[in-house]
Amino acid sequence: MNDDLLMKLKRLAVVETDQPLSKMTTLRIGGVAKYVVFPDSGIALDAVISLLKKENVPWKIIGKGSDLLCSDDPYNGVIIRLDRHFRNYYFTGQQVIAEAGASIIALSVDAAKNALSGLEFASGIPGTVGGAVFMNAGAYKASMADILDEVFVYRDGRLEWIPASDCELAYRSSIFQKHREWIIVAAKIHLKPKDTKEIFALMDDRRARRMKSQPLDQPSCGSVFRNPENINAWQLIDGIGYRGKRNGGAVVSEKHCNFILNTDNATARDYLDLVRDIQQKVKEKYGIELQMEMERFNWQNE
């Protein structure tokens, strides 16, 4: 990117330079991103995207980076973040309109305070509203698909509400995974009235279950693999004897073996090699192809 373009970008939004992706992801892995941009309005977002398109500069929107395995390579495009300025939400009766950069955990806590139920499942998911819609995040047999009414999308230079029924929401999947150039700007979510104490009791119970079953004290991306039909990924990983298996700084968690942890400054390569090793061993033993749930970003050499 030339200085002229950088200057134009700086007129539209705050731009930070040379920021490690390892600081923008929960896994704490990733090379240096040349530019990180924080638009503060829909107009600024539109102007930034139009400029990048015109200049043919690659870009990537990220939320809390809680589902990303970034390579160790530098990223010479532009990272766009909404979690600084697009993080308001507004309760309107039994609906909440939430901007994409809002923390889904903060939203679930505020919904509970407003005596509104439906987001309890999300109270331990460390992502943004945008990332949760993109992934159709879920837990305990509930997911965003159950509560989403509409999504405010920036696409083809326009901002528009689209109904959830058009978002192709399925297990950890949505239409947004097919259209990487669409940006989720906000979401309308419906909730149900319930006693605040009861909602918090359920959330506390879920938190206790997570603390007991998941290694939350070390950097991870949550579940590494999608559950195949009729079996949990962790059972297959356990079945190949990989609980505690290490490759460099990347280790299969002893506590929950569908989590791979960055315990000791793992490189992205350590991590991905362990993922590939698991996939191969599971395929050999069970004939099942485990699919990654987390997303690989900025991998040129694979």
Ligand X SMILES: Cc1cc2nc3c(=O)[nH]c(=O)nc-3n(C[C@H](O)[C@H](O)[C@H](O)COP(=O)(O)OP(=O)(O)OC[C@H]3O[C@@H](n4cnc5c(N)ncnc54)[C@H](O)[C@@H]3O)c2cc1C
The contact set with ligand X (CB under 6 A) reads: 26, 60-68, 82, 100, 125-128, 130-132, 134-135, 137-139, 176, 183-184, 216, 220-222, 295
Would you say 39 or 65 has its CB closer to ligand X? 65
Q: What b/e readout covers 58-77, taking b as 16+ CB neighbours within 10 angstroms?
A: ebbbbbbbbbbbbbbeebee
| Nearest distance in Å: CB 68, ligand X | 4
Catalytic annotation present for 87: no
Report yes or no: 266 and 25 within 8 Å, Cβ to Cβ.
Answer: no
Would you say 39 or 63 has its CB closer to ligand X? 63
Q: How buried is residue 49: exposed, middle or buried, by Cβ count under 10 Å (0-12/13-18/19+)?
A: buried
The single residue listed with the structure tokens 């924080």 is: 38
Output the CA torsion sign for 258, 261, 267, 270: negative
Would you say 30 or 130 has its CB closer to ligand X? 130
| Nearest distance in Å: CB 119, ligand X | 13
The single residue listed with the structure tokens 């950097």 is: 219
| Nearest distance in Å: CB 159, ligand X | 12
Would you say 116 or 129 has its CB closer to ligand X? 129
Report yes or no: 159 and 152 within 8 Å, Cβ to Cβ.
Answer: yes
Residues 6+ apart with CB under 8 A from 213: 255, 256
Of the listed 117, 143, 223, 253, which one is catalytic?
Answer: 223
| Nearest distance in Å: CB 287, ligand X | 26
Dihedral pair phi/psi, residue 178, rounded to 5°: -90, -20
Structure tokens at 132: 């949760």
| Nearest distance in Å: CB 284, ligand X | 28
Report the C-alpha gap between 64 and 117 in whole angstroms. 24
Report the C-alpha gap between 249 and 53 in whole angstroms. 38
Of the listed 172, 174, 220, 253, which one is catalytic?
Answer: 172
Catalytic annotation present for 223: yes
Would you say 168 or 286 has its CB closer to ligand X? 168
Would you say 80 or 236 has its CB closer to ligand X? 80
What is the phi-psi region of residue 237: left when phi exceeds 0, alpha when psi lies from -120 to 50, beta otherwise? Answer: alpha
Report yes or no: 190 and 147 within 8 Å, Cβ to Cβ.
Answer: yes
| Nearest distance in Å: CB 7, ligand X | 26
DSSP assignment of 232-254, as one string?
Answer: -HHHHHHHTT-TT-EETTEEE-S
Catalytic annotation present for 296: no
- Annotated active-site positions, please? 172, 223, 293
